[in-house]
Structure formats: structure tokens, C-alpha cells
Structure 1
Amino acid sequence: MNLYSIGKPIVNVIYHVLFKITVIGSENIPEQGGVLICSNHMSNFDPPFVGVSMKRKLSFLAKAELFKIPLIGWIFWHLRAFPVRRGAGDRGAIRTALELLRDGHVLLMFPEGHRNLEHSRMKKGLSGAGFFALKTDAVVVPCAIIGTYKFRSKMKIIFGTPIDTTIMKDQRLKSSEATTVVMEHIQALLDEHTGPTA
């Protein structure tokens, strides 16, 4: 049993003590095969929240600086995170992500590339999510995180219907254009679940 398997149930309990959690659409995550989960990004609490909200093990990218911190870096490695040098076109991180998806793992990405405190309105994204959607056969699942991570506040996570990437590939979209399509699906989930009747 590894650190991820030990830590996940513990983190799950902690999150359910701290917050009132609702998970919607977890059935949209395939039980097997490569899956690219693309989500809005509000907080450093997001990756564990996504991880405890699904059955499968989750890998995610984290800024390289975190891996240089004693103990923290070791924990990140064992929680299936891997480093990325932001703004540097990190070929190593790209190669690792491609291998994970092609080998049938689940990878979490935040298309915006950084935290966005506006919560319900996404900003311009980077090309990474679109690149992986176009370059692999992974199922792309949009994800929306809604809430404020305040003690006992309501937190909602929604996994949307998988995006049909064949259309993007047939249209030969650029990576940036594919990312825009992915973000539109995330924004649609945010709009649907943050309205007055949500």
C-alpha cells in the first residue's frame, strides 16, 4: 500500500469534516483508460478535492518550486504529482503527461494555468489542455469546482459529460483553440450550477 492509498481516505474524512460536499456526475469518469480532467482552479485545495471525489487514482501537475521544499516535495511525488516549470515549455512535464494518458491513467489539469479567485468566471487559458486533448485518445471530462473552502461551507464538484474530441481533431484546431472549447464546457457547468436555482 502506497502513500496515495493511505492518504486518500484520510483526506476524504478531513474534507467532509471541514466542508459540506456534493459530488455530481462522477459516473462520467470512465472506469478504465486515459482520462484528462479539466477544471477551473480556485485554490491549492482543488487537487485533493478532485482526488477524493472520484474512485480512480489521480495524477496532477504542480509548480516545480514545491518539489524543492524538504518533505513537501517527497509528499507530492508520492501523491502522484509531478513538477512543471511554468512558462518554460517544460518538455519533461509534457512527456510525462503524454505517457500517463497513453498508459491509461487519469490526469488533472487546470486550463487557466493559475488560480482564479473570481470563482464563476474563467479567464483566458493556456494551450496545454487542448494539446493533450488533441495528441492523445484520452477521454476529456470537464469539471467545475464551486464554493469558498470556508469551514462548513457548501462545496460542489461537477464532472460533466465527456467532450467529443473527434470534432476538434477533424477540424484540425490549434491547441489554443481546443483549450478554448474545453474551457467553454467548464464555463457551461459553472453557469448551470451557480445560477439562482442551482
Structure 2
Amino acid sequence: MTSLTLVVFSLLAGLLLWQFYRLTVACRRANRVDWGRGWMNLLDGLNRLFCYRYHRLNVLGMRLPKQGPAIVVANHVSGLDPMLLLASARRPLRFIIAREEYQRYGLNWLFRAIGCIPVDREKKPEQALREALRCLRNGEVVALFPHGKIHLDSDPPRRIKAGAIRLSQITGAPIVPHHISGVRGEGGVISGVLLRSHARIKSTSPIYPEEWGREQLQALVQAVLDNKSEDLESIAN
């Protein structure tokens, strides 16, 4: 290696280290949730930078209670959705996800680190229910997508699954519904993350189960997830 090559290599290495340092500082500043581990807090900040700067997520905080249990639900339009919800939350979210997704190669370590709850819909779905109940009784926030899979606003209507309603009525935890829109790569898992968007999250106030019957509660959540404001008003009235 010639002296000139060594100088160029050293400069490039120094530049990379400097950029890495700047990114680390930016992630620390962007971090809003204490996950209990320094590297997890850095990832939290990195995700917020990615969602707010790259995907231009609207600056809107999730309307979560400051403490105590809560259930976050949203429509599901792409693989970007969990990242958007995490970026808008000021508390850790425990996502309920399909076991096949939880065991996805290369991502399992991350899903374990953020406390995702795997559900085996074919064999023992009750195990995930028990774990979700335990989390809620411990005052944590559980998040899920009641449509069960990617479902676009333009798709035929799809009735949401009743898991969130059931968890809410058993524990008394409020449901905080959201509607996600503006994702350019909607309909795709990878494209939703990679294609730059003008992502938007529309949040509503927490819905407390003691104020509504089971069918009304389900209809209210369905109306928010489907962005049907007229249905929401008719139910509320």
C-alpha cells in the first residue's frame, strides 16, 4: 500500500467514523422512549428520524394515557405501519404479530428485543391472548392490526377481528384507534418501507369499554380504522 493510498484510506475511514458519530448523536436527540437498553434507545431515535424525515410523517403524538394499560389499533396498509406507530408513540408498544413473522430470519432478534407477542393462529392462539392480558395487567401498551392482514381503503370492506375488543373488555384498558394513510408503497411489505411517502396518522381519543356495548365498541373501532367519519358520528350519537 503506497503512502498516498494509505492517506486516502485514512481520510475515508475518518469521514465514515465522523458520519457515524453524527448519526449517533442525532439518534440520541430524536429518542423519545426509554426501552431500558442504550442500543434500543438509539434504534428508537433512528426510527423516528426515518419516519419523520424520510417518510415525512405528520408530527402528531399518539393520544396514549401517560401511564396504565392501553390497546393501540390501526388499519394495516404496508410493512411501514409498525414503524410509524412506534415513531408517534411516547411509550413502548408490545405488538401482537403472527408467529411466522416473528420468526422471520434476520428480524427475530429485533422482535424479541421490543417485546413482540407472537400468535400461532392455527395451534395455540390462546397463548398470545394470555401474554397480552399479562402485559395489560402490568400497565403496558399492546398494539395490533385488527384487520389481520394488509387491507387498503380501496379494498372491499373487511370486518375487523374482535381480539382488541375482547382484551379491552376483560382488562378495562382503553382502545386508542388510528388511521394510517399517505404511504406510497401501500399494499407491500418492503415497498412500503423503501418508497418515500407523505405518511399520515389520524388519531382519536381513547375509547373506554365501560361506556359502550360490545357491538358499539367494535363498530366505533371499525369506523376509525376504515376512516368512516359519518359512521363514527352516527354511532356516537
> TM range, normalised to the smaller chain?
0.7 to 0.9
Residue among 201, 204, 225 paired with 1:160: 204
Scaled by the length of structure 2, the TM-score of the pair is 0.69
Instruction: Name the counterpart of 2:164.
Output: 129
Measured in 1, the distance between the counterparts of 2:176 and 2:92 equals: 15
Measured in 1, the distance between the counterparts of 2:205 and 2:172 equals: 16
Residue 31 (structure 2) pairs with residue 31 (structure 1): no
How many percent identity over aligned positions?
25
Runs of 5+ unmatched residues, structure 2: 1-36, 186-194, 230-237
Query: Which of the two has greater strand per residue?
Result: 1
Q: Is the contact made by 2:173 and 2:208 (CA closer than 8 Å) also made in structure 1?
A: no
SS of corresponding position for 1:154? coil
- Going from structure 1 to structure 2, the CA distance change for 1:3 and 1:153 (only over 3 Å counts) comes to same
- Going from structure 1 to structure 2, the CA distance change for 1:88 and 1:43 (only over 3 Å counts) comes to farther
Q: CA deviation at 1:118?
A: 3.1
Q: CA deviation at 1:186?
A: 3.0
The residue identity in structure 2 corresponding to 1:43 is S
Q: Is the contact made by 2:173 and 2:209 (CA closer than 8 Å) also made in structure 1?
A: no
- Which aligned pairs between 1:36-115 and structure 2 lie closer than 5 A? 36-88=71-123, 90-115=125-150
The residue identity in structure 2 corresponding to 1:17 is R
The residue identity in structure 1 corresponding to 2:203 is F
Instruction: Name the counterpart of 1:182.
Output: 221
Measured in 2, the distance between the counterparts of 1:123 and 1:162 equals: 23
Q: Is the contact made by 1:112 and 1:125 (CA closer than 8 Å) also made in structure 2?
A: yes
Scaled by the length of structure 1, the TM-score of the pair is 0.82
Instruction: Name the counterpart of 2:4.
Output: none
* Cα offsets for 1:4-57 (capped at 9, x unmatched): 32311011112233212114353x211100010111111121111101111111
Measured in 2, the distance between the counterparts of 1:122 and 1:24 equals: 27
- Going from structure 1 to structure 2, the CA distance change for 1:96 and 1:185 (only over 3 Å counts) comes to same
- Going from structure 1 to structure 2, the CA distance change for 1:69 and 1:111 (only over 3 Å counts) comes to closer
Q: CA deviation at 1:122?
A: 5.2
Which segment is superposed worse, 48-57 or 83-92? 83-92
Q: CA deviation at 1:182?
A: 1.9
- Going from structure 1 to structure 2, the CA distance change for 1:49 and 1:90 (only over 3 Å counts) comes to same
Query: Which of the two has greater helix per residue?
Result: 2
Structure with larger Rg: 2
The residue identity in structure 2 corresponding to 1:110 is F
The residue identity in structure 1 corresponding to 2:139 is G
- Going from structure 1 to structure 2, the CA distance change for 1:120 and 1:57 (only over 3 Å counts) comes to farther
Aligned residues: 184
Q: Is the contact made by 2:179 and 2:203 (CA closer than 8 Å) also made in structure 1?
A: yes
The residue identity in structure 2 corresponding to 1:8 is D
Which segment is superposed worse, 91-100 or 80-89? 80-89
- Going from structure 1 to structure 2, the CA distance change for 1:38 and 1:2 (only over 3 Å counts) comes to same
Instruction: Name the counterpart of 1:17.
Output: 53
Runs of 5+ unmatched residues, structure 1: 193-198
Q: Greater relative contact order: 1 or 2 (C-alpha under 8 angstroms, separation 6 or more)? A: 1
The two structures, once aligned, show a CA RMSD in angstroms of 2.3
Instruction: Name the counterpart of 1:196.
Output: none
The residue identity in structure 2 corresponding to 1:183 is Q
